[in-house]
C-alpha cells in the first residue's frame, strides 16, 4: 500500500491503542517491515512487541517474554531438570550415562595432567586436584591409583590384598569397622575422681583439662591417652574392655598426645600385667577401707 495522510493518521491511532505491528498490519493490509519503516520516517516511537511475565516452571524465576514466544523456562538447564525429573531410565541407560560422565572426567583429568607435566608453572597441583572433585569417589580413587601405578597392598587387619592410598594401613571395610564400632568401645568410661591416687595430678594442676577453642579454649590442657593404642588393639584383636581399662590410661598434654598418634608405649603382655597389679591394689585398698 501507499502511505498517505489518512493511513498515517490510522497508524497513529492504532499505535495509541496499544496495537502491535502484526495487528496493525492486518488492519492496514501491509507488512510489519513497512510499518516499522513508516514509524521511523514519521518519528514515532518504535513499536515493541507485547511482552508478558511468567514464572519458570522449574526454579520459579520471573521471565519477561513475548506472547508469541513459547518459552516456559529461564534457560536450557532448568528445562532439562524439569523434563528429567519424572523420567525413568533403564539400568542399561543409566550405565551408559555413568560411563559417558566417567569417560569425560577421565579424559579431562589426563589432559590437565599432561598440561601440568609440560608447564607446571601454569597449572598448580591444587588446581589439578580440584578437577577430580566432581568424579564419583570410587571411580576417582581407582583411577588415581592407576595413574600413580599403585600396586595392591595387604590390609594389616583382614590380611586381604586391596588397592589403598599411600600410608594407609587399613582397607575401606576395616577402616569402617575400626572407627564406627571398635574405637568408640575403647573410650575410657571410668570415673576419674574414683582413681585420683593412681594418676600423676601435678601435670593436671599445671595445665588443666584440655578443651577445644569453642568449649573453654584450653588447647595446652591435659587429656587421657591410651598407653597401649586402640589401633594396635584392633589389629591384634584385643577386647575393647582391656583397652579402656584405667590401667591403660595416662595423663598427657593434648599436643603431645596428637604427636604420639597411634603409637603404643607398652606391649600387650605388659598391659595385662599392669591391669592385674591395678586390680589387686584396688581390691586391697577396698578391703582396708572396709
Residue spans per domain, the chain: 5-80, 91-147, 186-289
In a 13 Å sphere around the CA of 30, the CA atoms on its Cβ side amount to 18
98-102, 112-116, 160-164: which has the minimum mean pLDDT? 112-116
pLDDT category of residue 220 using cuts at 50, 70 and 90: confident
**Cβ burial, residue 92 (10 Å; 0-12/13-18/19+):** exposed
- State pLDDT tens for residues 15-59: 877 777 788 888 888 888 888 888 888 877 655 555 678 888 888
Query: Which is higher by pLDDT, 233 or 145?
Result: 233
Q: What is the pLDDT of residue 113?
A: 63
Which cell is 216 given? 573453654
pLDDT at 239: 92
| pLDDT band at residue 228 under the 50/70/90 scheme | very high
How far is the CA of 57 from the CAs of 51, 53, 273, in angstroms?
18, 13, 72
- Report the pLDDT averaged over residues 236-243: 91
Name the strand (E) or helix (H) holding 148: none
Grid look-up 585398698 returns 285
Confidence of residue 289 (pLDDT cuts 50, 70, 90): very low
**Contact call for residues 65 and 81 (beta carbons, < 8 A):** no
* Predicted local distance difference test score (pLDDT) of residue 144: 55
Residue 165 predicted with pLDDT over 80:
no
Range with top average pLDDT, 127-136, 207-216, 236-245: 236-245
User: pLDDT-based confidence at 4, cuts 50/70/90?
Assistant: confident
With a cut of 70, say whether residue 271 has pLDDT above it: yes
Lowest mean per-residue pLDDT among 7-11, 110-114, 187-191, 217-221 = 110-114
Residue 141: pLDDT band (50, 70, 90) is low
Residue 135 pLDDT class (50, 70, 90 cuts): very low
Q: What band does 217 get if pLDDT is binned at 50, 70 and 90? A: confident
Look at 191 and 290; give whichever has higher pLDDT: 191
Residue 279 has pLDDT above 80, yes or no: yes
| Averaged pLDDT, 135-146 | 53
Q: What is the pLDDT of residue 49?
A: 55
Residues 243/236, Cβ–Cβ less than 8 Å:
no
Residue 284, pLDDT score: 43
Amino acid at each position: 500500500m501507499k502511505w498517505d495522510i489518512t493511513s498515517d493518521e490510522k497508524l497513529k491511532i492504532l499505535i495509541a491503542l496499544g496495537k502491535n505491528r502484526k495487528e496493525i498490519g492486518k488492519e492496514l493490509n501491509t507488512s510489519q517491515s513497512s510499518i516499522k519503516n513508516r514509524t521511523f520516517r514519521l518519528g514515532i516511537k518504535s513499536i515493541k512487541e507485547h511482552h508478558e511475565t511468567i514464572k519458570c516452571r522449574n526454579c520459579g524465576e520471573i521471565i519477561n517474554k513475548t506472547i508469541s514466544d513459547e518459552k516456559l523456562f529461564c534457560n536450557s538447564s532448568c528445562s532439562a531438570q524439569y523434563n528429567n525429573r519424572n523420567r525413568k531410565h533403564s539400568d542399561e541407560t543409566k550405565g551408559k550415562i555413568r560411563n559417558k560422565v566417567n569417560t569425560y572426567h577421565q579424559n579431562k583429568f589426563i589432559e590437565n595432567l599432561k598440561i601440568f607435566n609440560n608447564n607446571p608453572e601454569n597449572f598448580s597441583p591444587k588446581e589439578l586436584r580440584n578437577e577430580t572433585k566432581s568424579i564419583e569417589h570410587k571411580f576417582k580413587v581407582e583411577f588415581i591409583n592407576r595413574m600413580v601405578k599403585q600396586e595392591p597392598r595387604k590390609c594389616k587387619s583382614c590380611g586381604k590384598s586391596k588397592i589403598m592410598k599411600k600410608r594407609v594401613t587399613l582397607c575401606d571395610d576395616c577402616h569402617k569397622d575400626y572407627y564406627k564400632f571398635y574405637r568408640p568401645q575403647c573410650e575410657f568410661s571410668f570415673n576419674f575422681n574414683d582413681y585420683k591416687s593412681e594418676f600423676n595430678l601435678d601435670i593436671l594442676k599445671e595445665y588443666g583439662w584440655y578443651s577445644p577453642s569453642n568449649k573453654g579454649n584450653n588447647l595446652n590442657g591435659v587429656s587421657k591417652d591410651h598407653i597401649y593404642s586402640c589401633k594396635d588393639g584392633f589389629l591384634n584383636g584385643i577386647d575393647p574392655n582391656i583397652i579402656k581399662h584405667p590401667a591403660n590410661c595416662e595423663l598427657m598434654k593434648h599436643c603431645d598426645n596428637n604427636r604420639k598418634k597411634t603409637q603404643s608405649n607398652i606391649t600387650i603382655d605388659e598391659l595385662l600385667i599392669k591391669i592385674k597389679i591395678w586390680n589387686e591394689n584396688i581390691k586391697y585398698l577396698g578391703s582396708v577401707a572396709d
